[in-house]
Structures are given as structure tokens and as C-alpha cells.
Structure 1
Amino acid sequence: MRKFLFAAAAALLIAGPAAAETVAIVNARIETVGKAGSIPSGTLVIKDGRIAAVGADVKVPEGARIVDAQGGVVTPGLISPSTNLTVTEVDLIKETRDDGSGTQLSAGFDISYGINPASALIPLARQGGVTRVVVTPTLTGGGDGEDQEEGGSADAGLLQGGGGGGKGDPRLFAGQAAIVSLDASDTDPLVKARVAVALDLGQAGAANAGGSRGASLVLVRAALQDARDFNNNRAAYDRGATRDFGLSRVDLEALVPVVQGRIPLLIRVHRASDIRQALKLASDEKIKIIIEGAEEGWLVAADLAAAGVPVIIDTEADLPDQFETLGSRLDNAARLQAAGVLVVIAGSRDFNNLRQARFNAGMSVPYGMTWQQALAAVTLNPAKAWGMADRVGSLEVGKEADVVIWSGDPLDTQSWPTAVFIGGTQQPMTSRAQQLRDRYAKPDNGYPVQYR
């Protein structure tokens, strides 16, 4: 035990100064995604966890540790705008899922309590250049979640954010999202909890409300009014002197910041007409929203731009696999961008495929976006959408040093990070899969032949 405690203390002493050290990344093509734009050959200095200098003529500070990018590309860390990383290990084993599916809570479910900083899947995301993620809850089924099979979901498709209309009262909201850092040295990676309340509309929302889009919107509007009335009459509520509300106190409390305009609703919606309904909901209720999905967003691009609503999209969604995505097309991102919409590009929500976002960003370029717009859509734009652009998302002096060095074009499938810094701390570039490979690959390591 003493040896263990000594080793742990030593590890802390070693890890402690890492974020405080001064690092100079030299010989780099720097894509700042900021006012400085592209720097063909320059130096970026990290000091005390923040960007201290960036430019073509920056001098290396005395005593700085030098990291030679060898002509590689340096970018801000990628930000995954909506994922279940850190709260799900195996999709089809419900015991490993803390994403909110099956819970009886509605808006009150707080996903931040289930975050697992020791998830074996975090290193995979870091290896893809992802430094921060927005962890969002999943709404699978309604009420008591009895539509799930033992060990998984009755319909794997429901895991991607759509209801099931199960037994019990309709569960309108999926719960509250959180922002998480992927820093390997941080045992408490939560950056900010309760940054939004997730809501499914369209086909999934209809299922959660018993089968009708109209019913889901009526219930959502009623819930928002309940939250206002609850907040304005808390003393009466505590005395039992108010009318009956459709949600529990926990759920009403969670919706108060939404109706006050302090946090947005993350609305998952796909069809053009449903997007218009979401925009009308936001206008009527005077609330902030972020749209996720929006396969038919290009049809209402002008409306989205006029409302100033950020849109999270998968640029590879071009097949009409549902009636509400008949208008899907590969230039959706470019058309939204051209209209003035803040476009955020995502990949799969799945924890094990976050690298797909940068490939999706690359895919958007031949379909109309510029390369710089595509890079911004996986770095600065998600930071803007989620209210952290003052801290991360671009390589500018004073911002937290979430920095990635790439072997080549970061939007190219053949390029990979050679180094990742989060908050100025250089991250390990190994994963459990690699460790297992190395452990059992050598024939002279003393393991039985079955493990070789």
C-alpha cells in the first residue's frame, strides 16, 4: 500500500508541472481559425496552459520545450458537438449506458453525473484530434422504458435520438447536456454541466407524445408554461397552493433556465416543416435553440439564418432513409453556410466514431464549402454554438491551449495527429487496443502461445 501511495504521489508531482510548462511548436503550418487565418510557416507558444504567442515571426522563449511539427499542420482541437462519449461503453448493453435512455426523469435528467473519465473510449477520440465533447442525453422510449429488451434496445435506431412511445406518461425531454474535456490528466473532466436541455421533435417527438407531431408541440409548450408558472410561484408551489403541473419539480427546475433564455433547447429535428415549427416555438416562447439533424435544413436556410440558430449536421446524410429526410443532399452544409447559418459538422453520436466528423468536414469541401469553412465547422463553430468560443475553438493569444499537430491535412482520411495538447498538457497517444496489441504481439514476452 505504501508503495502504491508513493507511486501515486510521484505521478502527481510529475503530472503537475506539465500544464505550467512553456512549449514552443515550431516549423508548423498553423491554421488559427481566427483573425490571423493561415500561417504557412510559424511558431505557436504555449505557457501556463494557454496560447501565449502565435505567428510567423514569434521567437522561442528561453527554456521552452521545443516540439518540431516538421511542416505538419497545427489546428485547434476538434470539438464534438453532440455525443454519448464518457456515458456509454457498449450501445446494446444497457448497464453500460448512462445516457438517460429508460429513465423516468424528463428535463431533469442530468447527464453530467454519469461521466466516466476512465472510459477506454476517450483515448480513441483523442487519437482523432478531439479535445472536448458536448455529452448529450438520448431519449429511447417513453415512461418507464419497458420497450427495451434485456441488455439493449428493442430498436437500435432509437439510440440515435428518437422516442419509442413506450408505456407510461410521455417523456418529452431527454435531459440536460454537459461539456467535457478529454484531458487524460484530469480526474474531473466536467467543464460545465447543464448547458442545454435536449428535445426530440418531428417523427421521434411524435412517438414520445403518443404518435402525433401536434401532440408533442402542445405538450412542449405546456411544459414551458408550467416552468414559468412554477418559477413565478415557488412559495405557493411549496404550500401546495398551485394548479397541478405536468412535470415533476426536478423537471420544472431544469426548464427554468430554458424559459429564462439562459440555456438553449437542443432540438433534434429533420424535416423542413418540423424545423419551421421549431423556429416558431423559439420565437413564440422567446427561448434559445440549437438544431441537430436538419437534413432538410437547406430548404429553410434563410429562416435559420434570420433566427440566428446554430445547426449541427452530418454532411454525409444524403439518403432518404425516413419520410422526414426525403430532401437530404450532400451540399446541405454549403447551402446553409451560404445563407449565413452557423454550421457545425458532426459525425456519428457514437463514442467510437468521433473521428468521422473531420472526414465529414472534408466531404463538405467538394460540395461547396471552402476548406477554411469546413475546418471552422469542427472547431470554432461548435465552440460558438455551445458558448465557449472565448476559451477554445481557435488559436489565439489568451485562449486555452487545445492544440493538435497533424501529419498532413486534418480533413484528409490519411492524416492523423502526431501530438495533442489539452489545456497546454500534452496527451498520451495510446489506446487500450494498442496496449493489448503490444502486450500480446511479441513471441518472447513469456505469455502462453494462446496469447501470442
Structure 2
Amino acid sequence: MKSVNKLTASLLAGLFLLLFAGASTGQTQPSVLAIRGAKIYTLAGAPIEKGNIILRDGRIAAVGADAAIPAGAEIVDGAGLEVYPGLFDSSSQLGLTEIDSVAGTVDNAEMGDFNPQLNAATAIHPASEHIPVSRETGITHTVVMPGGGMIPGQATAIHLAGWTLEEMLVRKSVGLVLNWPQISTRSFDFATFSFKEKPYTDVKREQEKKVQELTDFFDRARHYQQAVEKGSAASYERDLKLEALIPVLKGELPVIVIAERAREIKGASEFCDKQKIRMILAGGTESYKVKDLLRQKNIPVILGPTLALPANEDDPYDRQFTLPAELQAAGIQFAISSQSISFMRRLPEYAGVAQAYGLSHDDALKAVTLNPAQIFGLSKDFGTIETGKIGNLIVTTGDPLEIRTVVRYLFINGRLTSTDNKHRQLYEKYRKRP
């Protein structure tokens, strides 16, 4: 009898835990939520001074000053608050690394130069502590890029909420990452803890060799594509690496080229032209030097953090601060990213700095909302507050680009999502110290 009672108690306890887990993940949340009486910055038109947003089954069902709130909807009072689209970090390694110095928590790269068949999605850790930390500043979705080698793999778009990758996934592949070979004569030797110089001719020769290897790899992929499309399965041996390049060669998937210097950007653009593939430039520290080329080729740019030191010793101190405004004036589409994990939370500040140095407020907001969504072909679901789009929203005390602003409520996939995180917990713990 005692064993039966123990079994019954265990089953009841297990049921309670399952119910509690369901509530904590938002599974028991109502299918209809409403944000009432807030100032709404839709980024698709003029701000709505006092309006409502209706969220149903994960998407925006209605938005406007006269949007009717359905009976039974859970209401979030937006009086005195502002609503914006959730922020989009267009280049991060979120979920791939937890602690840099602990090798067991680092899974951002594989061995070898050519790994196009790999996808960042397979290595993302949904329970990473960095995810809720990043949510606190209003980031609701991001593109995660793998690292290492010339072609480290494919980038993945995810939501910043979910127990599993399947719950987090926006799109498994948004682009193939390509680290363009650099020409750098200076390197740091950790053995002597000093910089070493190499002859330019030697470095140039090494760079050209890598570019040729890249060209040969794409040529092999084209031959493989022809065999796949015109031959029978028995006439060729399956190659997952070459197979992964076929969507790129067809123009279905862009190549995200990571390049910083002007000559690297020019070389990458020439390569993409010859291969007839779509290019997205990531990094672009010296993109201001090739503005005409980027505009002519219609190449969008994913910039890194604006809070960065000048790349060259003779650059002005505000070189990176003013870069977004320069690209905007030149008619080049761009986004601002963190290119980080632990500093991903500072994405709003990076956009705010760009505004302080010449970018308009609307354009600064779009650089971390609408622009990245358009660059990656996700603007049907993200970037603005419009009927039919996914309900990734932030409700704030003011401008999200201001460091003093607090995100009061955050919605991901139309669900009210917690902004609690380890940073806040440690703050609360130690502020109570005697």
C-alpha cells in the first residue's frame, strides 16, 4: 500500500511539474493578447499616438487607434508606454559559445576550410544564459553565423525564446558564410608576445592561392550541379559539401561575405560577379571607400558595432560612428549588428551612436529592425508593426536606442516573454548585500 501511495504521489508531483513547466513557457497563455493605449511606432507609417495592438495565434491580428479589443483577450496596459518592432541583430554567434575560456561550451567552428554543408542551427544551445540577457534590451530575433575556415557553414535565423531549437527557428538557412581571404603583413606572435612583419609579396601570394582554392571549389560545385540536374543518381557520387552550394549557384541563397578592407571588398565583389552569386557584405569597416561599387552592384552591408576604435591610425576618431550615415546618404542598404555574444545586448546603443553621428532616428531604428529583415528576405514577417506579421514586439518606457530606456514587456511569436536574466539576478542579489 505504501509503495502504491508513493507511486501515486510521484505521478501527481510529475503532473504538477509538467503543468508548471507549461505555464512558464507560455503554453497556457491565451491565444489573444492586446496591448492597449500605447504610442505605437509601426515603422510602416506615422506613429500612432494612442492605439491598440491585437495579437492572435502568434501574429498581429490588428493595429490602430480604433483596433477593437476582443472579449476575453488578455490586456497589457500600454498607457504612457511605447511599442516598437522587436530588435533584429543581423550578425551574432548567440548560442554557439557560452564561456570563451571553457572549450566544452564553445561550438562555433569546425575543422577545415570548406564546410558549406554545416548549419549553425545544429550547434545552438537554447538554454544559453546569453539569450535572456540579450532579450532585456529588446532583441527578439537574430541571425547566428558560424566561424572558422573560408566557408564555415550556413547562417540561421532564430527567435530569442524557446525550449528547443525547433521552437526558436525562424529559418534554418538565410545565407552561406564566406570569410574572404585577407592580406595582412602584420601578425601577433604569442610565443614572443610581439608583432611580426611578413613581406607583402609573400602574403599576397598566400591570399591569391586561397582565392584560387575558393574558385576551384565553386567550379567543382558547378560540375556537380550539372551532374545532379542532368544525370542519374548512379552516374555520380554524392558529395554533401558540393550539394550545399547548389542553392547558392541557383541564386536561391545569398553568400554573406565577411570582408573589412576596401581591396578585400572589391575582390569579393569581383568573385561574386564571376560566379553569378548574390552577395551580402558583412563587416565592411572600409565600405565608405567603395560606396560607388556597393551602390552600383546593389550589395547590402551588415555593419559591426559602431562603438569601435578606428581601423587605421590616421582615421578620425569618429570613423565608425559616422559610417552608417555615410552609407545611408550614398543610398546603400545596411543593417547594424553586434557581431558578438556577450555584447549583443548593446545593439540598441550601437544604433543610438549612429543616430548621434548623423543618421536620422527612423533610419537608426530601421537599421536594427526593418533593414536586416529585408536583407535576409524576412520582411514579410518582421521589421514593422503591421497586420499579419509575427508578433515580435517590445513595449518600452521610451526610445529603445536610449540607454536609460527600460523594456517593460517583450513579445516573441505573439507570447509575453520574460526579460529576467542572470545579470539582473546578480544585481538584485548583491545590491541587498549588508
Report TM bin, short chain. Answer: 0.7 to 0.9
> How many Å apart are 1:104 and its aligned residue?
6.8
1:178 equivalent in structure 2: 156
- Alpha-carbon shift at residue 62 of structure 1 (Å): 2.3
Equivalent residue number for residue 397 of structure 2: 407
- Distance in structure 2 (CA, Å) of the matches to 1:316 and 1:374: 14
Counterpart residue identity of residue 174, structure 1: P
In 1: Cα distance, 2:113 partner to 2:293 partner: 35
Name 1:23's counterpart in structure 2: 33
**Would the aligned equivalents of 2:285 and 2:311 in 1 still touch at CA under 8 Å?**
no
Shift in alpha-carbon separation, 1:37–1:205, aligned structure 2, 3 A: farther
Write the deviation string for residues 378-414 of structure 1: whole angstroms up to 9, x where unpaired: 0111111111110111100000100001111111111
Cα deviation, residue 327, structure 1: 11
How far is 1:302 from its partner? 2.4
The percent of aligned pairs where both chains have the same amino acid is 29
Which residue of structure 2 lines up, in the alignment, with residue 286 of structure 1? 276
Q: Which runs of 5+ in 1 are unaligned?
A: 140-170, 243-247, 444-451
CA contact (8 A) 2:248 2:255 kept: yes
Tell me the equivalent position of 1:126.
135
Distance 1:434 1:411, change over 3 A: closer
CA apart distance, 1:102: 4.2
Task: Tell me, in whole angstroms, the C-alpha distance in 1 between the residues paired with 2:369 and 2:150.
Answer: 31
Deviations 1:339-398 (A, max 9, x none): 221110112x22121122211111111222110000000011111111111011110000
Which residue of structure 2 lines up, in the alignment, with residue 212 of structure 1? 206
SS in structure 2 opposite 1:108? Answer: coil
After TM superposition, give the deviation of residue 256 of structure 1 in Å.
Answer: 1.6
Look up the match of 2:171: 192
Letter of the aligned partner of 2:325 in structure 1? Answer: A
Asked if 1 retains the 8 angstrom alpha-carbon contact of 2:92 and 2:337, the reply is no
What displacement does 1:65 show? 1.8
Structure 1 residues 320 and 432: CA distance shift in structure 2, 3 A: closer
RMSD of aligned residue pairs (Cα, Å): 3.0
Matched length: 404
- TM, length-normalised to structure 1: 0.81
* Equivalent in the alignment of 1:390: 380
**Equivalence for 1:58:** 67
Q: Do the aligned partners of 2:113 and 2:151 also contact (CA within 8 Å) in 1?
A: no
- Which range is displaced more, 269-278 or 1-10? 1-10
Residue 93 of structure 2: aligned partner: 84
Distance 1:23 1:327, change over 3 A: closer
Q: Displacement of 1:47 after TM fit?
A: 1.5
Mapping for residues 158-307 of structure 1, pairs under 5 Å:
171-184=149-162, 188=166, 189-203=168-182, 212-234=206-228, 249-307=239-297
SS across alignment from 2:321 = coil
Q: Secondary structure, in 3 states, of the residue corresponding to 2:157?
A: strand
* Aligned: 1:49 with 2:39: no
Residue pair 1:201, 1:216 contacting (<8 A) in 2 also: no
Shift of 1:82: 1.1
Whether the 8 Å CA contact 1:107–1:176 is kept in 2: the answer is yes
Larger Rg: 2
Q: What runs of 5+ residues in structure 2 fail to find an aligned partner?
A: 1-9, 188-202
* CA deviation after TM superposition for structure 1 residue 236, in Å: 7.6
Out of 285, 307, 324, the position equivalent to 1:333 is 324
Query: Larger deviation: 249-258 or 282-291?
Result: 249-258
| Aligned residues of 1:128 and 1:355 also touching (Cα < 8 A) | yes
Partner SS state of residue 415, structure 1: coil
- C-alpha contact (below 8 Å) 1:271/1:325 kept by paired residues: no
Deviations 1:244-290 (A, max 9, x none): xxxx9232122221111111111111112221222222222110111
CA distance in 1, matches of 2:124, 2:116: 18
Letter in 1 for 2:95: T
